Amino acid sequence: MIGKTPEERMREEDRRKAEMDFRSFVADAREDGRAEGYAELYAEGYAEGYAEGFAEGQERGLRQSFAEHVQSLQRLLGETVVPKEDLMKLESDALKELSGELEKRILLQLRGQ
């Protein structure tokens, strides 16, 4: 078996060191890419969730407001007051329409018709 010269051993050691450095660099780059991707996905998910939650909250608040208004109008008309839970099952457009119909009936009563 032929021994290696000091120069050959040094070159082989440098080659192994360069290979390990490269592998370490690739592993770090992958980890950085994963972290960056995770951060982007988290930010997108948070923004979408926030927007959807905000819109749902607005819709629920609007329905609740209309439901309470309908109940007030029903009281003024002397009608049976529909429970708020039942009114909240309706869409806001349906509640708005019902509110408008009740308002018209009150106006007609005030005019004596």
| Residue ranges with strand state E in the chain | none
Report if residue 46 sits inside a domain. yes
Residue 55 corresponds to which amino acid?
A
pTM of structure: 0.61
Burial 50-76 (b: 16+ CB within 10 A, else e): eeeeeeeeeeeeebeebbebbbebbee
Residue 87 · residue 70 · CB < 8 Å = yes
**Number of domain units in the chain:** 1
Whether 2 shows a pLDDT value over 70: the answer reads: no
Predicted pLDDT of residue 7: 87
Whether 1 shows a pLDDT value over 60: the answer reads: no
21-69 pLDDT, tens digit per residue, is 888 888 888 888 888 888 888 888 888 998 899 889 999 999 999 999 9
Please state the length of the chain.
113
Residue-number span of the structural domain to which 19 is assigned: 6-111
Report if residue 96 sits inside a domain. yes
Report if residue 75 sits inside a domain. yes
Report if residue 54 sits inside a domain. yes
Non-local CB neighbours of 26 within 8 Å, separated by 6+ positions: none
Report if residue 1 sits inside a domain. no
